[in-house]
Structure 1
Amino acid sequence: MGLKKIKKLVFRKNTQEVNRRFWERIIKAQRAEWEQALYRAQKGPKILIATSTGKEGMARPVESLLAVALTLRGANVHILLCDQFLPACSIALSTMMPDLSEFVAHGLTKRKCLECHQKGVSTYEALGLPIFSYRRLVAPDDIQKAEETAGSVPTDMIPAYRWNGMAVGEHALAGALRFFARGDLDGEPHAAQVLQRYFKAALLTAVAMRNLLRDIHFDCAVFHHGIYIPQGIIGEVARSERVRVVNWVRAYRNRCFIFSHNDTYHHTMMTEPTGRWDNMSWNLQVEQQLLEYLKSRWQGTMDWVSFLENPQFDLHKISNEIGVDFSKPTIGLLTNVIWDAQLHYPANAFRGMVDWVLQTISYFAKRSDLQLLIRVHPAELTGMVPSRQLIVDEIRTAFPELPQNVFVVPPESRVSTYAAMLQCDAVIIYGTKTGVELTSMGVPVIVAGEAWIRNKGITLDANSPEGYFRFLDLLPLRKRMEETQIQRARKYAYHFFFRRMIPMEFFESTERRKAFKLTLRSIEDLKPGKSSGLDIICDEILKGTA
């Protein structure tokens, strides 16, 4: 057996020990105290931890820890898991399938579904908390109706389909796009059948959640991400039943998380009132803390999410590799991963990111006075779900020969995004978070998509193609942002990186980045007053404050 295979087996064994036996060991040490906490919590506010996909290596540790911490604070916690019921979900990826026709016909293999269910059950059973399963929440008649609807709605009508006013079809499409790791389904074999599977899964999730929430009144539903299948539908139904929703995601900073209330963070980060940060007290010490962290992001030394190893900062070497001449006016453009978070954003200026990139190249082909430097996101190749639709391929198809003033940094390049963009007169973005950092450095930013820096009074925000091209007509700007604007940008950056990203010190990343290890010693560590970050998170869940 090769060394790589041995390491893989050892890793799997270790993660299973953490997830299957970890809580049994922790609870055993304080069994009587835990039983008392469970008894006291029976009359407390009802919280639904809607993990659903038990195999999810990040959700299981985080949400089981939250279940314990909330119980210790008097919450009556319940768990929701899929029991090999849904025909498609966020665990499934086309790259896992040697034969896609098998997934179309039968869904995930019984072994994978069973493993997913068992991992979730084994983790939560150790806590003695009630567990709901999807299959028991859906009647045979509901299953038949879901099958009939999924089979009768034309494929091109699914994305706009609404079930009792809820955007069920939109989440089904997002799930299918994630499955294929593409921004569209054009030319994808079995695309229609896969979309129908996700549509049926969305309908079944909606019925299961509606039945559960009408049977038991929950004060709050807590679960990861908040989009795709089933998480996006869980949120839709919970909101329709007037149950508060709290979504979370791993943040950039080490051992930090973003928690979003009432909607997925993909939406709330753009609509958050500016009053939460623009009047915050500001001093040199706070500013220095921010700038030190922003500098660390050039190499990711203070983060547990980094997409580029050993970046190249030497501008001479960058120019030689790419061909760009930084002595001439240069406009930067930063892409996103095409398939990621494909939801409907009304303020976006274009149909999608590919459309935006291609129209921008066409514009700059007529602007010989400017250079366009396109930095493709490294996560196209190094993200947890590598993209199967690459923007370099889309560009090559549309422009077999690039305009002489357009330069592309491919995803595999070691060119530092920060070093290159700081040489630009201005930078255009779609949805990347890098806009938060660039504006803090005084670089003017134009936003065409769902970037979180939008609506903050810091960037030039385009809401239509016409408005977007009017902004481009202003280029080059030939100046950095005003000092007052830079300070405003830094206030938001501090709010984003140090206030919205809440520390929970109990987690460590594994070598695969798709799972967490818990570093807990006892349930004492999870009691009120022991962890300021955990206190904030639990208070917000229980009290509905954010």
Structure 2
Amino acid sequence: MLRRLPSPNGPRIAFATVWGESSPILTALESILAVAIRLRGADASSLMCDRAFPACVRDSLGNHSMSIPAEYALSGLTPHRCRRCVHVINAYYKQSPIRQEQFSRFTQTDDLARIMELVDRLPQERYQTHVYRDIHVGEHAYASAVRETGRGTLMDSPYHWWLFRRHLIASILISDLTERMFQTVRPDRLVAPHGIYVDHGTICEVARREQIPVVVFSVSYRKDTIMLCHGDTYHKALVTEPHALWENMELSDTQRERLAGYADSRRRGTHDILTYHPSPVEEHAKIIKEIGLDMTKPVISLFSNVMWDAQLYHSYNAFENMLDWVLKTIDYFLKRPDLQLVIRVHPAEIKAEKKSMQPLKTEIENRYPSLPQHIKIVGPESDISSYSLVDISKATLIYGTKMGLEIALRGVPVIIAGESMNRGKGFTFDVESVDGYFQLLDRLSDIPRNTPEMMERAEKYGYHFYFRRQIDFPFLTDFQPGFPEKLKLTFDDLSALLPGRNDNLDLICDGILNGTEFVVP
């Protein structure tokens, strides 16, 4: 039984809470981390939205401070989520020793009118690139708007422009409120979930501008694990992390066996927080027949990702977006009947909690009413195993999917055209320009399987990513997206969070307090 807290004389650590009802998993994880930090003598605080924002990525209607045209009130947006969100956050922190700071304390009477006037002076075509006081509010607003619409790009429609404008106004207001909050709270470090979109993306960028170190955490793929990164969302941080963290590792036979076992389990997702194919079609002969492949010609498989997910700017994107890449790839293969292109549409388009409203297959069919026999599409509804498709492929093409690592571990060449975390690691072929991409495609007929050196690097990075970056977190179990009712605490006393009780929690807290790497030895 914990009877007394240490004095909060350590660093001031601010947790950007913001989400509650819409993401109770992250709120639960955050509250555990905040208490653990407080038990180590830090001055921990929770920065609560408390209905201060006119919109966020989880609620485009926000606090209803901006008018909602009648024709949009029934557009699928959920009313009054803001109120429920605050209720959930309060429930998590009700008996917590963590101090709460409300963003609403820092609102000013003319904020909304001033920002609306600013935005309405902007031409709509400049929304996405708009920068406000060195904060890329246009990017954060755009990423949130496409997520809300379930599309990779916004349509030129009154509703989409209204939604984009609303998120842009919200990002600017959040930027101002965060700056004022930081001037009062004066955090030494900021901890935030996810680190992207109109809320946490804006808050984290303000912290970086003010030279406040940022830690971003998220639920990771392996069951009962979390991932933390310094400085930015893992979507960007993992691309640029130092290779020295993993490339000099010497894997033992036991570690290689563990990696091989987990990589094989990914076929059915038995050790992951979610799976799209619990009973996949894996037999090669059945897949070849169902797709209609001619195995006298090389198979090149293209694996898409969900178009609306995490639409962020990356300096190394050779193409305008994923759809642009897919269509240009099809244009190329129309002239290559000596090869077969199989486009595997991501199953999350229809099997995830949030469905895609811009199906890739529909976009392709709109552009190409008919395709030649050597170009095939495997739709998101298909239970064909993507891993078995890899097995019969000569090479693979990806844009942003994380599957690139698993493909490389199977020895199959991976060509990366977009923002995948796997680029630059030495086990993939990375595209820097459109011309460079087509030059790589010209070599597909002769491209060899991955070299032993590439395989070695893939194995080292694979072990690093799956078992060192994804940190076992035994204080919560069954944290599955979309099923908050399954969340279970595994402890009944705060003393379980004290220093020295769990090595991984000590590692995480040390990373937050002292800036050490979030990597399990």
Change (3 A) 1:106 1:47: farther
1:315 deviates by 1.3
Change (3 A) 1:507 1:188: farther
SS in 2 for 1:58: helix
Query: Which residue, out of 37, 45, 70, partners 1:70?
Result: 37
The question of whether the paired residues in 1 share the 8 Å contact of 2:38 and 2:98 is answered with no
Q: Which amino acid aligns with 2:44?
A: V
Change (3 A) 1:355 1:142: same
SS in 1 for 2:15: strand
**C-alpha distance in 2, partners of 1:102/1:493?**
51
Report the counterpart of residue 208 of structure 2 in structure 1: 239
Q: Which amino acid aligns with 1:332?
A: S
1:445-471, Cα deviation, whole Å (9 max, x unpaired): 100000111011221111111000000
Report the counterpart of residue 453 of structure 2 in structure 1: 484
Report the counterpart of residue 64 of structure 2 in structure 1: none
The question of whether the paired residues in 1 share the 8 Å contact of 2:224 and 2:479 is answered with no
Query: Which residue, out of 3, 7, 10, partners 1:44?
Result: 10
**C-alpha distance in 2, partners of 1:93/1:326?**
49
**C-alpha distance in 2, partners of 1:346/1:275?**
23
Report the counterpart of residue 514 of structure 2 in structure 1: 543
Pairing of 1:214-233 with structure 2 (within 5 A) = 214-233=183-202
Report the counterpart of residue 500 of structure 1 in structure 2: 469
Q: What is the percent sequence identity of the aligned residues?
A: 39
| 1:468 matches 2:437 | yes
Change (3 A) 1:81 1:438: same
**C-alpha distance in 1, partners of 2:154/2:449?**
41
1:327 deviates by 4.2
The question of whether the paired residues in 1 share the 8 Å contact of 2:273 and 2:480 is answered with no
Pairing of 1:188-267 with structure 2 (within 5 A) = 188-267=157-236
**C-alpha distance in 1, partners of 2:447/2:380?**
28
1:309 deviates by 2.4
**C-alpha distance in 2, partners of 1:154/1:208?**
25
Q: Which amino acid aligns with 1:486?
A: M
The question of whether the paired residues in 1 share the 8 Å contact of 2:138 and 2:168 is answered with yes
1:514 deviates by 4.7
Question: How large is the RMSD of aligned CA atoms in angstroms?
Answer: 2.0
The question of whether the paired residues in 2 share the 8 Å contact of 1:176 and 1:194 is answered with yes
SS in 2 for 1:190: helix
**C-alpha distance in 1, partners of 2:289/2:322?**
28
1:102 deviates by 4.8
- After TM superposition, the structure 1 stretch with the greater mean CA deviation from structure 2, 144-153 or 247-256, is 144-153
The question of whether the paired residues in 2 share the 8 Å contact of 1:54 and 1:82 is answered with no
**C-alpha distance in 1, partners of 2:79/2:18?**
17
Report the counterpart of residue 527 of structure 1 in structure 2: 498
| 1:419 matches 2:413 | no
- After TM superposition, the structure 1 stretch with the greater mean CA deviation from structure 2, 202-211 or 148-157, is 148-157
| 1:133 matches 2:97 | no
1:509 deviates by 2.7
Pairing of 1:114-133 with structure 2 (within 5 A) = 114-133=83-102
1:244-295, Cα deviation, whole Å (9 max, x unpaired): 1111121111111111111111111111111111111223222111111101
| 1:325 matches 2:291 | no
1:291-328, Cα deviation, whole Å (9 max, x unpaired): 11101111111111222221110112112221123342
Change (3 A) 1:514 1:103: farther
Report the counterpart of residue 400 of structure 1 in structure 2: 369
**C-alpha distance in 2, partners of 1:507/1:326?**
47
Pairing of 1:177-196 with structure 2 (within 5 A) = 177-196=146-165
Query: Which residue, out of 84, 88, 104, partners 2:55?
Result: 88
Q: Which amino acid aligns with 1:62?
A: L
What's the TM-score, normalizing by structure 2? 0.94
The question of whether the paired residues in 1 share the 8 Å contact of 2:25 and 2:479 is answered with no
1:33-81, Cα deviation, whole Å (9 max, x unpaired): 2xx31xx342221111101122222211100111111111111111111
**C-alpha distance in 2, partners of 1:388/1:282?**
44
Gaps of 5+ in 2: 62-67
| 1:79 matches 2:50 | no
Change (3 A) 1:72 1:111: same
Report the counterpart of residue 440 of structure 1 in structure 2: 409
The question of whether the paired residues in 1 share the 8 Å contact of 2:137 and 2:198 is answered with no
The question of whether the paired residues in 2 share the 8 Å contact of 1:206 and 1:234 is answered with yes
The question of whether the paired residues in 2 share the 8 Å contact of 1:93 and 1:180 is answered with no
Q: Which amino acid aligns with 1:52?
A: V
The question of whether the paired residues in 1 share the 8 Å contact of 2:103 and 2:181 is answered with no
Q: Which amino acid aligns with 2:54?
A: P
More helix by share: 1
The question of whether the paired residues in 2 share the 8 Å contact of 1:101 and 1:190 is answered with no
| 1:168 matches 2:133 | no
Q: Which amino acid aligns with 1:523?
A: L
Query: Which residue, out of 328, 338, 344, partners 1:369?
Result: 338
Q: Which amino acid aligns with 1:117?
A: V
Q: Which amino acid aligns with 1:66?
A: L
**C-alpha distance in 2, partners of 1:460/1:77?**
44
Q: Which amino acid aligns with 2:15?
A: I
**C-alpha distance in 2, partners of 1:93/1:418?**
37
SS in 2 for 1:159: coil
Q: Which amino acid aligns with 2:107?
A: V
1:110-129, Cα deviation, whole Å (9 max, x unpaired): 63211111111222132142
SS in 1 for 2:144: helix
